[in-house]
Structure 1
Amino acid sequence: MASFGLILCLSSVLLMSLCQIPTAIEDERKARHLCFVYIAYMGALPSKASYSPMSHHQNILQEVIESSSVEVSLVRSYGRSFNGFAAKLTESEKDKLLGMEGVLSVFPSTVYKLFTTRSYEFMGLGDKSNHVPEVESNIIVGVIDGGIWPESKSFSDQGIGPIPKKWKGTCAGGANFTCNRKVIGARHYVQDSARDSDAHGSHTASTAAGNKVKGVSVNGVAEGTARGGVPLGRIPVYKVCEPAGCSGDRLLAAFDDAIADGVDVITISLGGGVTKVDNDPIAIGSFHAMTKGIVTTVAVGNAGSALGKADNLAPWVISVAAGSTDRKFVTNVVNGEGKTIPGRSINDFDLKGKKYPLAYGKTASNNCSEELARGCASGCLNTVEGKIVVCDVPNNVMEQKAGGAVGTILHVTDVDTPGLGPIAVATLDDTNYEALRSYILSSPNPQGTILKSETVKDNDAPIVPTFSSRGPNTLFSDIMKPDITAPGVNILAAYSPLAQTALPGQSVDYYFMTGTSMACPHVAGVAAYVKTLCPDWSASAVKSAIMTTAWAMNASKNAEAEFAYGSGFVNPTVAVDPGLVYEIAKEDYLNMLCSLDYSSNGISTIAGGTFSCSEQSKITMRNLNYPSMAAKVSASSSSDITFSRTVTNVGKKGSIYKAKLSANPKLNIKVEPATLSFKAPGEKKSFTVTVSGKSLAGISSIVSASLIWSDGSHNVRSPIVVYT
């Protein structure tokens, strides 16, 4: 969840008086440090060449605050791609600022949190895919994250030509930071350097657009070639995060710079909880990016499989869920009777088949209850030295290591598996864990060992792990989120040698990370790849191509169906030739907001300038030209649901598409017209999809089907989701 600047650290009259009545410059500086950071958003930049954003912002602040030292209050000024500033203000000053001419909205600076050697091959984007090197090297993928480790081989500029002429950015990475023809730009809004210390930024950057690096592994595990979606593409990095989080005023500054710098794609694996889009820096910044043709990919978060927890819900971004790949790490357990029990994990410790005592419950602790000991609770494992600890939960294995254990076996229910550990680790699912537990409870001297991991093909992939946040969309109920699924489980990519790992005393250049943070840059890489072959497409066209060509995923393996995986699993090589696309103009998004509870000021905040709603122009959520179709209904609904859509031909002239329905017996669906004929590329055709009301009564959760427009070679697929 987000942490808001509105929360007082010291909720006292004394604090407010300190903020409002400083006695000297230094006193004010200290007092302002305790005040809240607010973002004042002023929309589009004036067209006058003489306009100075910084001067204007200082003048406004001078009228708002009661002291003369504006520089103490001003945090940062936005003036490259849109207009606004962030400042430390009291609540009364915030209210006064909101009434100033030209200020569209004022909202607190939210604190956001940070949410591969096989993954691109699994998606079908390998060396044999169609690449255009001279165009690919002109693609710029902006990474808004926690910095980068520029010396990583993934960021080598070997084989990459001169920096594109369209690049308008700078290399301001700070102390001991050097750019090259790969990492062409760097900016930092925290600390003194754009250098990455926790590896998150390096990992996401290399996944999106890292150069090819052969022979990458972690101690021989998962060896292969690490690469991004556009290995010849360029990377500017915008460091907005520090250990305490990533504040909204920095995020908006990064968007302001990235748009002006000339990026083609932005990837941002951050989240701050669900909020209205007119108060969300990511939503505001990405809207401005979209109007410039820039695609923004975002992570839906790692809040688990409870419904309605997905983050980053604006309809103009690509919201990405995490999925598994077909590379599975199998780590078997052998009990004292020689029986092999199948397990999962990444384990490079070789116990050489030696059997060790299995510590479980009472045999793992003499200072905690048996229940706590079986859960391997903190401080309980005091009799596990030289043993393998068995835990009912997937806990932090550092407890077992601290107790002197040689290994641990954990009970998990997820397809997700832990990365390399400081001791031998194996995870067992419900069935296999119960088999091990039965052996332990029935044996007077239970023993076992953990074998070294083997890499095998996972025929069940892709599956959405339980950590990946689920829809439905809690801000826009009739717009489906997430949009797409991409690899996010055990992704091996560039790492910072300063970052901690589970390998004691060992720094690494490449390491495994798991999360929707890892899935998001995969889609950024795919979007960049699509732009290399379709450079003139709008952001909505690229998004449509990615969504409508996705592999359909199996609802029997993902109980939450489209709420888990969106349109399906990303399919890059088909996305460059989708046949038809659903395009959405800037005004369409704004007219949709007009049909909701957004004020004129709120919509103007998103638009970046004054925008007036009219009854004639309003667009309902269901009729926004989105590549998927969703409708929230009451359980007793009996009225028909109608979706209106328009597709644009990006294929050949003379194409004829026929509607095919992947039907659901609970839904009665009709498409009119059922055939679309296109005389030329760029031609548009409209149609309606009607879900009969008679079939809606009794729906208890989610029911889904899909519409496919096919011309014999293209299959343009849109999920149809009805839910209560």
Structure 2
Amino acid sequence: MPLVTMLPLLMLMDMEASTAAGNHQVPVIVNHFNYGYASGMAPGAGIAVYKAMYSFGGFMSDVVAAVDQAVEDGVDILSLSVGPASVPTGPSAFLNVLEMQLLFATRAGVLVVQAAGNGGPSSTSILSFSPWITSVAASTTDRRYNNSIVLGNGQSFSGSGLSPPTLSEVRFPLAAASDVCKGNTSSALLTVESCQETEPFIRTLVQGKIVICTYTFDFESEAASIATVADTIQKVGAAGFVLTMDPDISSEKIKGATMTLSVPGLILNSMEASTALREYYNSNTLRSRSGRAISFRATAKILDGRQASYNSQDPVVASYSSRGPDVNNALLDTADVLKPNIMAPGSSIWASWSPNSEGDQYIKGQNFALLSGTSMATPHIAGIAALIKQKHPGWSPAAITSAMMTTADVTNGYSSTPILAQQTNQLTPATPFDFGAGLVNPSRAIDPGLIFKATFKHYVLFLCSVPGVDEMSVRRAVGVGCPSKKKAWCSDLNTPSVTISNLVGSRNVIRRVTNVAGVDETYQVIVQEPLGVSVSVRPQVFNIIAKASKHITFVLNATQTTNTYSFGEIVFQGNQNHTVRVPLAVFVSSTLHS
């Protein structure tokens, strides 16, 4: 069962491939410490890797060529964590050259899974546009890595850093980097506080101490790295380090704070904690008249930060995960397409890493790394899709996506409360523009009951319905013209969601469901109406025999002008324990018929 993983950078290839189809129960060993055991989503899947991007970025032509080669090689699933930097120009984002290449891949039977982007929590930040693509949002998990530094006065500050502890229970002297360096040091462009070079340090002063380093502008310009801090501390013989925030760049979080460390180390991502630590240090450091430190009486110990804690905390939509609504063009006109489609874990994900990679200075030389992003959520969906494809080899890409979407979770397993989304400094109930149909549920996706099918000709009809796109543009893009002159809406595409970006009066939406359960089943349709919309369904109760299909009509009537999106859902409840959810997203522009 071929599975292709194609990535934006060489450094991500191992990570994506191992997440989607890595071997079962592989020990995750970094800096001689075993962090546990990892398995890919589909350990038995075959992997084909196509290099199309480089550390500097890449060219669309190379990506298109890689997709074309993958299709020619007969892959089943394409995991794609690359996309445009912004919404493409032209009559429609759906006609962009990459979108068209992915449409042709879909026509060849290849399921395309693409990262939604890391532009959240801003709305319309999605960078995966087309309905033939499965766009993936990212959630947090309940696994946390926390570390602490305990001061001699009993104060304790939490931070990050997957590091070993300082030796035994001994508290070591604290020393600011500038107090254990040569006074007349002029080190190129780097400040001694950033702890990037060994030469400025006075070995007899620094050895056996925990060094207070500072996250200076050197880090913001990428002239410095936390990995180099750890390397410097090890070479000069210090007991460890604590990296504090600089008041001059206090608004910036410290980058790379979840990296693994070979020496005791802690990253304080709090200005309050950084200030309190320095106040303790300064009040316990004796200085000469010239200001030189002559006695280091402040002490501390760093605890073990390599042990994960699991707090049974419900997953939430990660703040960085790009949000809908989907857009049709560079003018950000919204489209009748739900994006993202589905959500999977994307924060603090362990996966394999090439030790020869030059792509990320924080993790160079390691065999595993811990990273976050929709790029890490995407291979989860690709691997789950491979499992579904193995179970149902005849299913089309649309059928596999439908199975994952209609069975996704919108409530939490721990608390049975609605899934939340991280916004700026707050949590709010997640909407379909945050997580699509919800958090993927692999066990239910294998047996969804009903699926929504769509083929190449349906996607062509969709393109012919896009506002601002004429038939000639469609013909140039896909090689065929529009199938009919009959007026159609983009919302007519047979997807497991309904999005209407401009509801004026009323609209009939028809969906065709297919019974894949293997048994006859009777369904009752339950509607949760969006604000400002009344929804009626025909038929409201129906029986569907195995392998048969049935048309369902949704009639959406505008009852209140909202001038914003409101959300609801249509649930098909079967008597054979199948529950099929279809999210609704509607923007009511007017209650008057056009």
TM-score range, shorter chain: 0.7 to 0.9
Shift of 1:588: 1.5
Q: 1:388 aligns with which of 201, 212, 215?
A: 212
Specify the code of the residue in structure 2 equivalent to 1:587. Answer: K
Counterpart check, 1:463 vs 2:316: yes
Q: Which amino acid aligns with 2:226?
A: V
Does 2:304 correspond to 1:452? yes
CA distance in 2, matches of 1:622, 1:458: 41
Aligned with 2:566 (options 703, 707, 714): 703
In structure 2, what is the equivalent of residue 397 of structure 1? 226
Change (3 A) 1:357 1:565: farther
1:420 aligns with 2:260: yes
From 509, 512, 525, the equivalent of 1:646 is 512
Q: Rate the CA distance shift 1:279–1:669 in 2: closer, same or farther, 3 A.
A: closer
1:688 is matched with 554
Structure 2 matches for 1:332-351, cutoff 5 A? Answer: 332-348=148-164, 350=166
* Residue pair 2:531, 2:566 contacting (<8 A) in 1 also: no
1:523 equivalent to 2:397? Answer: no
Quick one: distance in 1 between partners of 2:216 and 2:81?
A: 31
Match of 1:488 among 332, 342, 346: 346
Quickly say closer, same or farther: Cα 1:332–1:502, change in 2 above 3 A: farther
Sort the Cα spacing of 1:213 and 1:435 in 2 relative to 1 into closer, same or farther, 3 A. closer
C-alpha deviation, 1:605, in angstroms:
4.2
Give the superposition deviation at 1:522: 1.3
Aligned length: 515
Deviation at 1:280? 3.1
Query: Measured at CA, do residues 294 and 646 of structure 1 come closer, stay the same or move farther in structure 2, by a change above 3 Å?
Result: same
- Counting only pairs closer than 5 Å after superposition, residues 62-461 of structure 1 correspond to structure 2 as 139-145=1-7, 198-219=10-31, 223-273=35-85, 274-275=87-88, 276-277=92-93, 280-348=96-164, 350=166, 354=171, 357=174, 379-380=190-191, 382=193, 386-389=210-213, 396-397=225-226, 406-409=241-244, 418-421=258-261, 424=264, 426=266, 434=272, 437=275, 444-445=283-284, 448-453=300-305, 454-461=307-314
Shift of 1:278: 5.9
**Mapped pair 1:679 → 2:552:** no
TM-score normalised by L of structure 2:
0.76
Does residue 722 of structure 1 match 2:593? no
Alignment partners' CA distance in 2, 1:305 and 1:590: 32
C-alpha spacing 1:414/1:716, structure 2 compared with 1 (3 Å): farther
For 2:324, what is the secondary structure of its paired residue? Answer: coil
1-structure distance, mates of 2:375, 2:469: 30
Maintained 8 Å contact 1:382/1:403: no
Is 1:598 the equivalent of 2:438? no
* Contact 1:383/1:403, CA 8 A, preserved across alignment: no
Post-superposition offset of 1:686: 1.5
Task: Indicate how the Cα distance of structure 1 residues 689 and 532 shifts in structure 2: closer, same or farther if over 3 A, else same.
Answer: farther
Give a deviation string over 1:29-82, Cα, whole Å, max 9, x none: xxxxxxxxxxxxxxxxxxxxxxxxxxxxxxxxxxxxxxxxxxxxxxxxxxxxxx
- Taking a change above 3 Å as real, the CA distance of residues 434 and 589 of structure 1, as seen in their structure-2 partners, is same
Q: Which letter does structure 1 place at the counterpart of 2:143?
A: R
Residue identity opposite 2:572 in structure 1:
W
- In the superposition, the TM-score normalised over structure 1's length comes to 0.63
Distance 2:266 2:511 in 1: 49
SS at match of 2:347: coil
Gaps of 5+ in 1: 1-138, 148-197, 368-377
Q: Is the alpha carbon distance of 1:612 and 1:668 closer, same or farther for their aligned partners in structure 2, counting shifts above 3 Å?
A: closer
CA offsets, 1:386-429, max 9 Å, x none? 53346599965358558868122568889996222476554667
Amino acid of the structure 2 residue aligned with 1:143: T
CA contact (8 A) 1:407 1:423 kept: no
Q: Which residue of 2 aligns with 1:570?
A: 440
Structure 1 Cα separation of the partners of residues 145 and 138 of structure 2: 17
Give the C-alpha shift of residue 298 in structure 1: 0.9
Cα offset for 1:439?
6.6
Question: Any idea what SS the aligned residue of 1:232 has?
Answer: coil
Cross-structure match for 2:391: 533
2:452 is aligned to 582
Q: Deviations over 1:305-350 (max 9, x none)?
A: 2221211211101111222223222223434432444444533454
Which residue in 2 is equivalent to 1:53?
none
Are residues 414 and 557 of structure 1, via their aligned partners in 2, closer, same or farther at CA, if it must alter by over 3 Å?
A: farther
**d(CA) in 2 for partners of 1:629 and 1:355?**
61
Q: 5 Å matches for 1:546-557?
A: 546-552=404-410, 554=418, 556-557=420-421
Distance 1:623 1:383, change over 3 A: closer
Cα distance, 1:669–1:291 mapped onto 2, change above 3 Å: same
Q: CA RMSD in A?
A: 3.7
The 8 Å contact of residues 355 and 365 in structure 2, kept in 1 or not, is answered as: yes
2:144, 2:309 within 8 Å by CA — same for their partners in 1? Answer: yes
Q: Does the C-alpha gap of structure 1 residues 653 and 497 become closer, same or farther in structure 2, counting only changes over 3 Å? A: same
The question of whether the paired residues in 1 share the 8 Å contact of 2:404 and 2:445 is answered with yes
* Kept in 2: contact 1:300–1:516 (CA 8 A): yes
* Structure with the higher fraction of residues in strand conformation: 2
Deviates more, 1:584-593 or 1:444-453: 444-453
Q: Whole-Å Cα distance in 2 between the matches of residues 447 and 643 of structure 1?
A: 69
Shift of 1:257: 1.7
Three-state SS of the structure 1 residue aligned to 2:54 is coil
Q: Report the Cα distance in structure 1 between the residues aligned to 2:579 and 2:111, rounded to whole angstroms.
A: 23
Question: How has the CA–CA distance of structure 1 residues 288 and 327 changed in structure 2, closer, same or farther, with 3 Å as cutoff?
Answer: same
Is the deviation greater in 384-393 or in 224-233? 384-393
- Answer whether contact 1:301 1:516 (CA < 8 A) is retained: yes
Secondary structure (helix, strand or coil) at the match of 1:387 reads strand
Contact 2:8 2:81 (8 Å CA) reproduced: no
Cα pair distance change 1:217/1:253, threshold 3 Å: same
Seen in structure 2, the aligned counterparts of structure 1 residues 143 and 605 have a Cα distance that, compared at 3 Å, is farther
The whole-number CA distance in structure 2 between the counterparts of 1:666 and 1:573 is 35
Offset, 1:613: 5.0
1:588-642 CA-to-partner distances (Å, cap 9, x unmatched) read: 21112112222334323443x22235331x5312222221222335xxx873465
- Distance change in 2, residues 1:495/1:400 (3 Å): closer
Task: Give the CA deviation at 1:140.
Answer: 0.5
Which amino acid is the alignment partner of residue 542 of structure 2?
L
SS in 1 for 2:383: helix
Change (3 A) 1:225 1:610: same
What one-letter code is carried by the residue in structure 2 that aligns with 1:495?
W
Structure 2, gaps ≥5 residues long: 184-188, 196-200, 202-209, 234-239, 285-297, 329-333, 412-417, 423-427, 589-594
Partner of 1:372: none
Offset at 1:669? 4.0
In structure 2, C-alpha distance between the alignment counterparts of 1:503 and 1:256, rounded to whole Å: 32
2:494 aligned with 1:630:
no
